Chains A and B, each alone.
Chain A
Amino acid sequence: MDYFVELFFSGLTRGSIYALIALGYTMVYGIIGLINFAHGEIYMIGAFTALIVSTVLSIFGFPLPAIIILTALAAAIWASAYGYTVEKLAYRPLRNAPRLSPLISAIGMSMFLQNYVLLAQTPDFLPFPALIPDFDFMEPYAGFIGSSDMVILVTTTVIMILLTLLIKFTRTGKAMRATAQDRKMAMLVGINVDHVISVTFIIGSALAAIGGMLIASHIGQINFYIGFIAGIKAFTAAVLGGIGSIPGAVLGSFILGLTESFATGYVSSDYEDVFAFSLLVLILIFRPSGLLGKATIEKV
Chain B
Amino acid sequence: MISLKDIGKACIIALWFVALTFPLMVIKVNPIDRIIIWRWHNMLWVGLGSFLCYLAGRAWLMRREIRLRRIRQGLEAELPQRTPLSRRIIQDPVIHRPLLAAGALFFLIFPLLFSTYQTNIMITALMYVVLGLGLNIVVGVAGLLDLGYVAFYAVGAYAYALLNLHFGLGFWTVLPIGGLLAATFGILLGFPVLRLRGDYLAIVTLGFGEIIRLILENWNEFSHGPSGISNIPRPGFFGIQMSLDHSITYLYYLMIAMVVFTIFVVNRLQNSRIGRAWFALREDEIACQAMGIDKTRTKLTAFALGAFWAGMVGVIFAAKTTFVNPASFTFLESAIILCIVVLGGMGSIVGVIIAALVLILLPEYLRAFSEYRMLVFGAVLVIMMVFRPQGIIANIRKTYRIGID
CB distance from A124 to the nearest CB of B (A): 11
7 A-B pairs with least C-beta separation: A108-B381, A112-B378, A111-B378, A277-B207, A115-B375, A105-B385, A108-B382
Task: Find residues 266-285 in chain B having any chain A CB closer than 8 Å to their own CB.
Answer: none
CA distance A101 to B192 in the complex (A): 24
Whether, in the assembled complex, A178 has its beta carbon less than 8 Å from a beta carbon of chain B, the answer is no
Whether, in the assembled complex, A300 has its beta carbon less than 8 Å from a beta carbon of chain B, the answer is yes
Whether, in the assembled complex, B15 has its beta carbon less than 8 Å from a beta carbon of chain A, the answer is no
CA distance A126 to B24 in the complex (A): 14
* A112-B379, A115-B374, A300-B286 as given contacts; A281 in contact with B204, CB under 8 Å: yes
Binds A, one of B30-38, B86-94, B248-256: B30-38
A232 neighbours in B (Cβ, 8 Å): 203, 206-207, 210
Task: Find residues 178-219 in chain B having any chain A CB closer than 8 Å to their own CB.
Answer: 192-193, 195-196, 198-200, 202-204, 206-208, 210-211, 214-215, 218
Whether, in the assembled complex, B133 has its beta carbon less than 8 Å from a beta carbon of chain A, the answer is no
- Encode contact with B along A224-251: 1 for CB under 8 Å, 0 otherwise: 0000100010011001000000000000
CB distance from A238 to the nearest CB of B (A): 10
CA distance A116 to B49 in the complex (A): 14
B24 neighbours in A (Cβ, 8 Å): 45, 48-49, 52, 116-117, 120-121
Task: Report yes or no: A85 in contact with B378, Cβ–Cβ below 8 A.
Answer: no
Task: Report yes or no: A120 in contact with B25, Cβ–Cβ below 8 A.
Answer: yes
CA distance A97 to B384 in the complex (A): 13
CA distance A81 to B196 in the complex (A): 33
Task: Report yes or no: B27 in contact with A101, Cβ–Cβ below 8 A.
Answer: no
Task: Report yes or no: B386 in contact with A94, Cβ–Cβ below 8 A.
Answer: yes
* A48-B24, A51-B29 as given contacts; A105 in contact with B386, CB under 8 Å: yes
B203 neighbours in A (Cβ, 8 Å): 35, 232, 235, 239, 280
Task: Find residues 11-34 in chain B having any chain A CB closer than 8 Å to their own CB.
Answer: 16-17, 19-21, 23-25, 27-29, 31-32, 34
Binds B, one of A11-19, A154-162, A165-173, A267-275: A267-275
Task: Report yes or no: B218 in contact with A270, Cβ–Cβ below 8 A.
Answer: yes
* A112-B382, A280-B207 as given contacts; A100 in contact with B372, CB under 8 Å: no
CA distance A85 to B31 in the complex (A): 29
CA distance A114 to B24 in the complex (A): 12
A108 neighbours in B (Cβ, 8 Å): 339, 377-382, 385
Task: Report yes or no: B385 in contact with A49, Cβ–Cβ below 8 A.
Answer: no
Task: Report yes or no: A119 in contact with B371, Cβ–Cβ below 8 A.
Answer: yes
Whether, in the assembled complex, B110 has its beta carbon less than 8 Å from a beta carbon of chain A, the answer is no
Task: Report yes or no: A127 in contact with B32, Cβ–Cβ below 8 A.
Answer: yes
Task: Report yes or no: A97 in contact with B389, Cβ–Cβ below 8 A.
Answer: yes
CA distance A236 to B206 in the complex (A): 12
Task: Report yes or no: A104 in contact with B338, Cβ–Cβ below 8 A.
Answer: yes
CA distance A258 to B34 in the complex (A): 37
Whether, in the assembled complex, B342 has its beta carbon less than 8 Å from a beta carbon of chain A, the answer is yes
Chain A residues within 8 Å of chain B by Cβ, number: 68
A53 neighbours in B (Cβ, 8 Å): 23
Task: Report yes or no: B372 in contact with A119, Cβ–Cβ below 8 A.
Answer: yes
CB distance from B311 to the nearest CB of A (A): 21
CA distance A112 to B383 in the complex (A): 11
A33 neighbours in B (Cβ, 8 Å): 199
Residues of B at under 8 Å CB distance from A?
A: 16-17, 19-21, 23-25, 27-29, 31-32, 34, 36, 42, 139, 143, 145, 147, 192-193, 195-196, 198-200, 202-204, 206-208, 210-211, 214-215, 218, 286-287, 331, 335, 338-339, 342, 371-372, 374-375, 377-382, 385-386, 389
- Given B23, B206, B210, B287, which contacts A78 in the complex, CB threshold below 8 Å? B23
A236 neighbours in B (Cβ, 8 Å): 207
Task: Report yes or no: B385 in contact with A94, Cβ–Cβ below 8 A.
Answer: yes
In the complex, besides A273-B210, A280-B207, 17 extra interface pairs with C-beta distance below 8 angstroms are A51-B31, A53-B23, A85-B20, A103-B199, A104-B145, A104-B385, A111-B374, A115-B374, A120-B21, A122-B28, A232-B207, A273-B214, A280-B204, A284-B193, A284-B200, A288-B196, A298-B286
CA distance A125 to B234 in the complex (A): 38
* A35-B199, A102-B385, A107-B147 as given contacts; A74 in contact with B286, CB under 8 Å: no
Name 28 A/B residue pairs within 8 A (Cβ), A-sorted. A34-B199, A45-B24, A49-B23, A52-B29, A55-B36, A59-B34, A81-B20, A85-B16, A85-B20, A89-B382, A100-B145, A103-B199, A104-B145, A104-B385, A105-B381, A108-B380, A108-B382, A109-B382, A112-B382, A116-B375, A117-B24, A120-B21, A232-B203, A232-B206, A274-B214, A277-B208, A281-B207, A284-B200
Whether, in the assembled complex, A99 has its beta carbon less than 8 Å from a beta carbon of chain B, the answer is yes
CB distance from B5 to the nearest CB of A (A): 19
Whether, in the assembled complex, A278 has its beta carbon less than 8 Å from a beta carbon of chain B, the answer is yes
A243 (CB) vs chain B CBs: closest residue: B200
Identify which of A35, A52, A107 gathers the most chain B CB atoms within 10 Å of its CB: A107
Whether, in the assembled complex, A56 has its beta carbon less than 8 Å from a beta carbon of chain B, the answer is yes
CB distance from B280 to the nearest CB of A (A): 14
Whether, in the assembled complex, A65 has its beta carbon less than 8 Å from a beta carbon of chain B, the answer is no
Whether, in the assembled complex, A128 has its beta carbon less than 8 Å from a beta carbon of chain B, the answer is yes
Task: Report yes or no: A284 in contact with B196, Cβ–Cβ below 8 A.
Answer: yes
Whether, in the assembled complex, A259 has its beta carbon less than 8 Å from a beta carbon of chain B, the answer is no
* A105-B381, A277-B208 as given contacts; A52 in contact with B23, CB under 8 Å: yes
- Encode contact with B along A48-67: 1 for CB under 8 Å, 0 otherwise: 11011101101100000000
B20 (CB) vs chain A CBs: closest residue: A81
CB distance from B102 to the nearest CB of A (A): 33
A101 neighbours in B (Cβ, 8 Å): 385, 389
A104 neighbours in B (Cβ, 8 Å): 145, 338, 342, 381, 385
